[in-house]
Amino acid sequence: MFTAIAMIESTAVIVLALLMLALVGDRLARSFWFGSIVYGVIFAGAGVISMASPVELQPGFYVDARSVVMALSGVIAGPVGVLVTGAALSAMRYSFGGEGMVGGIVSLWLVAIPAVLMWVWLRYRERSPVQYRHIVILAATASLMPLFSIYIYLWEQDAALSIQIAQTVVPTTFFGVLVLGVLVVGDMQRRWALSAHAEGRAQLQAIAANAPSILFQFYLREDGIAQFLYVSEGVRRMLGISPEEIIEKPGAIGQMLPSSGLMLFRERVRESARHMTPWTLDMEFTLPDGRAVWMRGAAAPRVGIEGRIVWDGSLVDITEQKQTESLKAEFVSTVSHELRTPLTSIRGSLGLVVGGAAGELPEKAKGLLRIALSNCERLVRLINDILDIEKIESGRMQFDVKEQPLYPLVESAIDAGRDYLSDRNISFSLEDGAPGAVVSVDADRMHQVMTNLLSNAVKFSPPGGKVSVRIRRTPNGFLRVSVRDRGPGIPEEFRSRVFGRFEQADGSDTRAQDGTGLGLNITKAIVERFDGRISFDSEPGIGTVFHVDLPEVAAPRDIGLVPQTGGTSAHRPCGERVLVVEDDEDAANILCNLLGEEGIDCDIALDMASAKALLARNRYMAITLDIRLGADSGLWLLQDLRSSDRQRPPVIVISGYVNETRLTLNGSAVGIVDWLDKPVDVVRLRSAVEKVRSLRHTEMPSILHIEDDEDVLQVMAIALGSEVEVAFARTFSEAREQLFDRTFDVVILDLDLPDGWGADLLAFIPSTTAVIVFSASEIEGVLAEKVEAALTKTRMSEIAIADIVRNITAGRNLPAVEERETETGEVQ
């Protein structure tokens, strides 16, 4: 009983020592000697107090917690600390005297031996702190070591007393070391965890403060304002505002953004909250000192412990990147203009000479000129491909994606691709296995995709070979356009690099096929922009087939044509026929009757598809157009006429929404001769018909070419020939004066003029005049919609432009067909 009470008192004293150790903490760990001595003093004090009230089993034989203290001192304080503790406890035991003094002191130092050995092992071998398993081992060894002393000094004198002391010392020492050691380890692990947490927090704060970005956490309040929970110190360096100010004043960061930028930020964050998806946004900040910086913000949402959505993210300074992009865009624009304009003149001049415009040339001279023209075309393709790559990388490539039939797009690309057949005698075949298929693409970019694939197929086809194109539906709902050649196939080692940049299967200077190595890379980027994919199959010696898979967006529908002939008249000029595009059949018939009174035949198209089919089959002097055609819009037909290489008859708009349509087109509706409200005013209709007739009887089409480069002007004039009247304007002001003085059938417009921006001249060009933009500058989608054709220098030659002009004027200025006798006496 007394033994248990004494041991409990000793345990309480040791616990106090442990509390002192916890209070001191790790502050003494950095100094080995000083720390060891202090730890030894603490344990010595605990041991002395414990020995002050021992249990005396026999006169001169005492039992207390000295072994527990010595064991813990050895494993925690090390050899220096245990010397301090052991000296104090040995002196205390010496002061008691008695028969068991020597054995007690020896027993004390025997316990210290395994404790110190464990300290050395942990410090220099395992290099780890004390663990629970170490305490178990220490408790076992510390409880057994006193047995040696008992056996040596007491067993022969009094075996019964030896057994009694052993029964008391062994379990008390074992459980004392075990229990108190567990407390020590627990406290040490707690202190290590706190220290590690503090160290980790300090490291994170240091990293965050010195990171080249601003780290943040925020949530959205009910009023939509971002409440920041944390902002790294980098915000002071980058935005000139303290983290505390942003946290305490939720609107502080928003005041640095323009209103449009703040609205966009809130919209992105709300969308991120709805779908729990990350967001990224480039934002322009105005700093307190007036400077403007661009920051790219990115954050991911998560649900915090309070149940609200919290965003963790960063802000990165991209001001230098934006400046670099601006310089790059400026450089590309300069290169585009400075290279494209002279190359256009060179290519046009060479093309005209090779085509015989300068008279017959010797065969040797022709051969040299063909070489020059071929290499000029190669240089042009390289420049265009490089500029396309730059636009793709910067995200500035314009796409005007619309739903449209696939077959005509592929067919027109094949027709244009026959230019590649001039010296290789390659034939094309087209198989339509998906009639009526409709895709959502940009027509020009789709044409570029097909041109690249056809050019590639022709390039690797043997002379006299065949390139096959096939359209079909795939089981997964895609439309597949396949372009097959009968060439040597793609080498196995090159297949992984087919869509790379500047890649050629034969990369040597002596390769048989020329090319930039960029075409397929550009093609892949464009196809993926249409949510499609491109792939290929190739067999050595048999050929290669490239597949373009595009989502099908509409089911084919039947096209209904309603041909209708108006009244006849013996005196009407031959060939006067109008296409009436109107979804109300009764209104269309009435209009046909009114046109019949003017001696004009008409055909009726009740929808867009019917109109396109009739235009492809017949020639018309004019079109009457209702802007609203059921689910379609008549404006789509205007745009189709503008981009088509076929006839472009004048248009008379007849609609119940004339004013709204005028505002929509903003004065840029080329080819519209009049706007008539429903119901149709007969007098206005007759006036519009006479205006169309006057256009058709013009003797010579008039062209105004606005261009500041003399070489381009001369080449274009030669390409247009003597069948048209060409006027020139070299400056913005000169062009404006000529547009005030007279009306032209066609205006060819360069955008980069010495004294102004060519697009501003559109305000002075009547809607009945066709406008062709032909410039070295890239034409944006909005501008392209306002003109008849938007073409880029080097992408279209002067000869091709001349063909477009002749096509336009042929549709607008066809002379009335009169009966005349031939030399054989037949009437034509």
| Cβ contacts of 160 within 8 Å, gap of 6 or more | none
Torsion sign, CA atoms 184, 189, 190, 194: positive
Per-residue H/E/C for 160-185? HHHHHHHHHHHHHHHHHHHHHHHHHH
**74 — pLDDT class (breaks 50, 70, 90):** confident
For the question of whether the overall pTM of this predicted structure is more than 0.75, the answer is no
Q: Which runs of consecutive H residues, i.e. helices, occur in 52-158?
A: 66-96, 101-121, 132-153
- Residue 23: CB atoms within 10 A of its CB come to 9
Question: Does the bond joining 679 to the residue before it have cis omega, within 30 degrees of 0?
Answer: yes
Give the DSSP H or E segment for 314: strand 309-317
Residue 160 has pLDDT above 70, yes or no: yes
| Distance of alpha carbon 528 from alpha carbon 550, whole angstroms | 9
Does residue 825 sit in helix, strand or coil? coil
pLDDT score recorded for residue 729: 93
Q: 387 versus 602: which is more confidently predicted?
A: 602
Residues, the chain? 828
Q: 138 versus 57: which is more confidently predicted?
A: 138
End-to-end CA distance of the chain: 141
**574 — pLDDT class (breaks 50, 70, 90):** very low
Residue 507 has pLDDT above 70, yes or no: no
**23 — pLDDT class (breaks 50, 70, 90):** low
pLDDT score recorded for residue 568: 34
Residue 254 has pLDDT above 70, yes or no: yes
* Range of 350-359, 372-381, 543-552 with top mean pLDDT: 543-552
* β-bridge pairing 292-303 and 309-317: antiparallel
Q: 715 versus 299: which is more confidently predicted?
A: 299
Torsion sign, CA atoms 584, 590, 594, 595: positive
pLDDT score recorded for residue 20: 59
For 82: left if phi > 0, alpha if psi spans -120 to 50, otherwise beta; the answer is alpha
**163 — pLDDT class (breaks 50, 70, 90):** confident
Model confidence over 552-573: pLDDT tens digits? 986 544 444 444 444 333 333 3
pLDDT score recorded for residue 823: 34
pLDDT score recorded for residue 471: 94
pLDDT score recorded for residue 818: 35
Please report, to the nearest 10 degrees, the dihedral formed by the alpha carbons of residues 226, 228, 232, 238 taken in order. 30
Burial profile 482-518: b = 16 or more Cβ within 10 angstroms, e = fewer: bbbbbbbbbeeeeeeebbeeebebeeeeeeeeebbbb
Model confidence over 212-252: pLDDT tens digits? 788 899 998 888 888 998 888 888 888 888 988 988 888 88
Q: Which runs of consecutive H residues, i.e. helices, occur in 215-285?
A: 234-239, 243-248, 259-275
Please say whether the beta carbons of 354 and 719 come within 8 A. no
Range scoring the smallest mean pLDDT among 4-8, 478-482, 594-598: 4-8
Give helix then strand counts, H and E, for the chain: 23, 28
pLDDT score recorded for residue 798: 67
Residue 690 has pLDDT above 50, yes or no: yes
Give the DSSP H or E segment for 741: helix 732-741
Q: 246 is written with which tokens?
A: 């942003």
Q: Which of 502, 471, 477, 492 is closest to 544 using CA atoms?
A: 492
| Distance of alpha carbon 296 from alpha carbon 802, whole angstroms | 48
| Backbone angles phi and psi of 728, in degrees to 5 | -120, 145
| Burial class (CB within 10 angstroms; exposed 0-12, middle 13-18, buried 19+) of 658 | middle
722: Cα within 13 Å, side-chain hemisphere: 1
Q: 691 versus 826: which is more confidently predicted?
A: 691
**299 — pLDDT class (breaks 50, 70, 90):** very high
Task: Please give the share of the chain, as a percent, with pLDDT higher than 70.
Answer: 75
| Distance of alpha carbon 612 from alpha carbon 610, whole angstroms | 6
* Range of 93-102, 178-187, 471-480, 574-583 with top mean pLDDT: 471-480
Q: 281 versus 393: which is more confidently predicted?
A: 281
Residue 510 has pLDDT above 60, yes or no: no
pLDDT score recorded for residue 322: 85
pLDDT score recorded for residue 575: 56
pLDDT score recorded for residue 468: 93
Q: What is the mean pLDDT of the chain?
A: 77
Residue 389 has pLDDT above 90, yes or no: no
Structural domains in the chain, CATH included, are 2-202 (no CATH), 212-317 (3.30.450.20), 402-554 (3.30.565.10), 577-696 (3.40.50.2300), 702-812 (3.40.50.2300)
Q: 187 versus 662: which is more confidently predicted?
A: 187
* Range of 176-185, 363-372, 439-448 with top mean pLDDT: 439-448
Q: Which of 710, 713, 740 is closest to 727 using CA atoms?
A: 713
- Residue 356: CB atoms within 10 A of its CB come to 10
pLDDT score recorded for residue 180: 76
Q: 432 is written with which tokens?
A: 């339509």
pLDDT score recorded for residue 595: 85
Please report, to the nearest 10 degrees, the dihedral formed by the alpha carbons of residues 221, 224, 230, 235 taken in order. -160
Tokens 């004066």 -> residue: 737
Residue 369 has pLDDT above 60, yes or no: yes
| Distance of alpha carbon 28 from alpha carbon 21, whole angstroms | 10
Kindly state the average pLDDT of the residues 397-404: 82
| Burial class (CB within 10 angstroms; exposed 0-12, middle 13-18, buried 19+) of 431 | exposed
Range scoring the smallest mean pLDDT among 154-158, 512-516, 591-595: 512-516
pLDDT score recorded for residue 566: 40
**27 — pLDDT class (breaks 50, 70, 90):** low
Kindly state the average pLDDT of the residues 264-291: 90
pLDDT score recorded for residue 41: 81
Model confidence over 308-364: pLDDT tens digits? 899 999 999 999 888 887 787 677 667 666 777 787 778 778 877 887 777 788 888
pLDDT score recorded for residue 76: 81
Please say whether the beta carbons of 769 and 702 come within 8 A. no
Range scoring the smallest mean pLDDT among 142-151, 291-300, 402-411, 707-716: 142-151
pLDDT score recorded for residue 732: 92
Residue 747 has pLDDT above 60, yes or no: yes
510: Cα within 13 Å, side-chain hemisphere: 0
Please say whether the beta carbons of 142 and 67 come within 8 A. yes
